[in-house]
Amino acid sequence: MAFTGSFLGAGFVSGQELTQFFAAFGGYGLLGMVVAVLMLLTLSCLVMKIARRTGIIEFEKIIVRKEKPWLRAIFGGVFILFLFGVVVVMTAGAGALLNQVFGLPKIWGNAFMAACLAMLGLWEAKGVLSVFRVTVPCLIVVAIISGVWSFFVFEGNGVVARPFSGANPLLGNWLFATVAFVSYNMMVAISILVPIAPNVEAEKSIDRGIFQGAVQLLVAFVCILLPLIMNQTMLAGAELPMLMLAETIAPVWGIVYAVLLLSGMFGSGLACLFGVTIRVKKIARNTRGSTLTLGLVAAAFIGSLAGFKELIATVFPVFGYIGFLAMIGIVLHYLSLRKEISIDISGSKFDP
């Protein structure tokens, strides 16, 4: 469940993320989906096994095994920027949602989200996150129901295979889009999976648990992605395609989806805001918490004016390509551990 929950966030079930990274490529998007799940499964297993064998739970040390403070600092900085990027995207997402449902100008929706984040951020109300964590599983269930329901309501179009997409130059190729999607999602997965890895009794439990999580993820992927591909004509131009799909199925169902999606966006934004402030305070210990929070929220509001659709088209692909280096680091770290184990075994075998 931890594995599946690492990837099924508010951005995922909004539909915009999947539209740009997969649905835009039609049949190749479905192929990319399968490749993405296999890559996420493999990398997550490697990450948890590294953490279990070494006891390391720090993001930077999982990626950079050798004692290279400057390189670890770079990856740590990238992770902070990514968390802040999610705050910006979720702030813009709230504006897009309130505009789509109530016709409220996007800037006012963005301002509303920023004000709520600032208020709870200043109070350091971390306990409130437990409330919003409940809404995300509900949102996932509603999204899956919406996707399945759409098969009975809309005829849809045929699935056309498109290896290239002119919609986003950063995601012009289905394979690049798939790798970028996996890369930036692994940044989140590491921070969620690594802390629980040292307590796992056996590595077989990791393999079994991640596999079951991958099956769950694949089911959710299919139920949400396939309707996005088959109804591209109807959903063209929508900033929140899955919300539009739910509204078209039934207005009341659309309101339910909107409430859960807004709650999910707020929970994601608040969690990432807390994550940024905690990490920045460790680096700049003399920084006042209230000043930092207000500064981050103000910067997030300004950045959100770029628009939800536009931010997903730039922020996630950029961090996806940067995150590709992190994936290489994870694989190298795991291979080095395997090499050490084989040397220890061979050494003990011939030890007189």
List, for residues 235-249, the tens digit of each pLDDT value: 998 999 999 999 999
Determine, yes or no, domain membership for 296.
yes
In the chain, the number of structural domains is 1
Residue 284 CB contacts under 8 Å (≥ 6 apart), including other chains: none
Radius of gyration of the chain (CA): 21
CA distance 19 to 15: 6
Specify the amino acid at residue 46.
L
Distance CA 272, CA 204 (A): 32
For residue 320, the enclosing domain spans 2-333
**CATH number, domain at 280?**
1.20.1740.10
DSSP bridge partners of 238: none
Q: Which amino acid is at 203?
A: E
Q: What is the pLDDT of residues 267-302, one digit of tens each?
A: 999 999 999 999 999 888 888 888 999 999 999 999
259 in a domain, yes or no?
Answer: yes
- Residue 82 located in a structural domain: yes
- Token digits of residue 300: 């997030």
Place of tokens 């995300």: 136
* 261 lies in some domain: yes
C-alpha dihedral, 194 to 187 to 17 to 266, nearest 10°: 70
The answer to whether 26 and 160 have CB atoms below 8 angstroms apart is yes
Q: How far apart are CA 46 and CA 143, in angstroms?
A: 30
Amino acid at 49: K
pLDDT tens column, 81-132:
999 999 999 999 999 999 999 999 999 999 999 999 999 999 877 777 877 7
Q: Domain for residue 346, yes or no?
A: no
Q: What is the pTM of this model?
A: 0.92
How many other β-carbons are positioned within 10 Å of the β-carbon of residue 117?
25
Give a yes or no: residue 321 inside a domain.
yes
